Amino acid sequence: MKIAVLADGCDYRSKVTEKFVDARWLLIVDMDQQRICEAIEKNEGDTENKDLAKNIIDRDCESVICGEINKVPFEILADQGVTRSLGNGLIVADAVRCEYMLELITDYIGGQGCSSESHHTGTCDCEHDACN
């Protein structure tokens, strides 16, 4: 299993950024081997963060740990069924170790979102593909 982490640096001592857009690095963590298998520096021309989101998809990551997400990358990730966990401010090593306990990101910045309760019951009245 692979997990993506959006961070300010390229190693386990780096911090998860406050917002997806603030990330300088995309770290791909191989959970079976417990190591960072790839560190991808953000393309400064990727103003909408499409490249970062597509890199997460292309590397078959099941989950991403990051800060708040803007609409475009959120929809790319949600449409592909990537779990989005809020880990902003945590050290990458701690975020990865506790990934299963992190709060889920249910919507993009400014979106309507779904309550966590609705996700647990399987009932959601929003219009997002990831919720339905």
pLDDT digits (tens, 9 = 90+) for 31-53: 999 899 999 999 888 888 999 99
Query: Which domains are present in the chain?
Result: 2-121 (3.30.420.130)
Task: Give the model's pLDDT for residue 124.
Answer: 40
- Output the pTM of the full model: 0.83
Span 60-113, pLDDT tens digits: 999 999 999 999 999 999 999 999 999 999 999 999 999 999 999 999 998 876
Task: Give the model's pLDDT for residue 121.
Answer: 36
Nearest to 95 by CA among 24, 1, 27, 39: 27
Q: Is pLDDT above 80 for 127?
A: no
- CA 93 to each of CA 30, 35, 66, 70, 110: distance values in angstroms, whole numbers, following the listed order: 12, 10, 13, 24, 29
